[in-house]
Amino acid sequence: MLNLIRLAAAAVALLPLGAATAAAVEISPAIAQMYSDVSAPPPTANSMLVCYGFECRRRMMLDFTAADRNKITEIMATGRASPEAERQAVQQAVLWFDRRVGPVIGTDKRVARADFRYFADSQNFDCFDTTRNTVGLLLVLQEWGLLRHHRVGDPRYRGNIFIGQGPHNTAVLIERASGRDWVVDMWTHGYAELPDVMPVEDWLKLD
């Protein structure tokens, strides 16, 4: 397992003036590189960057309110019983995120599998955006102690032009008991639809 490194995200726009420095979250080198590639801060215990517009060309900072935290905690409480239940709760948490930011940034009009060919970058996520957003949300859940049966893994990639498989990235959860990797992929669905959650080995076979 990759050694974890502790990174603190700098305070950025939309944080209230005079706000205390946010607590750092633990991230792996691979996740740190994912944020570094687009000169973006990783999440803190209080906020996360939301990427949209394809490859994080458009951005907003989501500062979690007390109401946000209460709602997410309520959602994740439904998954305490088992790893399967927790994965279902994670689906609902991602759905909550989609509905939370969509009306603010315009992605409530987004479509499934959007990329540069759609041109409507201002209202869509590509898979780079959804991977960063989902990883960010999962890291916040982990920081808040809401992931009992899983931990956040490094994003995974697929793409093989020889079998007609296009390039695609996704966030990953690792089941603690079994060590099995599960993808959490919202790019393949439109606004306010549940993300795909499936074993990585099954995801790698899809087009």
Give 3-state DSSP helix, strand, coil % of the chain, rounded to 5: 35, 25, 40
How many residues are listed for the chain in this entry? 207
Range of the domain at 39: 5-149
The more confidently predicted of residues 176 and 23 is 176
HSE-up (13 A, CA, CB side) for residue 168: 22
Report if residue 85 sits inside a domain.
yes
How confident is the model at residue 165, as a pLDDT?
58
Is 31 a domain residue? Answer: yes
Task: Quickly count: other Cβ atoms within 10 Å of residue 160's Cβ.
Answer: 10
CA separation (Å) from 51 to 21, 121, 136, 203? 22, 11, 10, 23
81 belongs to a structural domain: yes
State the total domains in the chain: 1
Reported confidence tier of residue 4, pLDDT bands at 50, 70, 90: very low
Residue type, 145: G
In a domain, 202, yes or no: no
Distance of CA 185 to the CA centre of its chain: 9
Give the pLDDT confidence of 140-165 residue by residue, as tens digits.
Answer: 999 999 999 999 999 999 876 666 65
At residue 120 the predicted structure's pLDDT band, cuts being 50, 70 and 90, is: confident
Confidence of residue 15 (pLDDT cuts 50, 70, 90): very low
Query: Tell me, what's the pLDDT at 115?
Result: 84
In a domain, 207, yes or no: no
Residue 131 lies in a domain: yes
Cβ contact 24:6 at 8 Å? yes
Is 41 within the bounds of a domain? yes
Inter-residue contact 170 to 184 (CB < 8 Å): yes
In a domain, 23, yes or no: yes
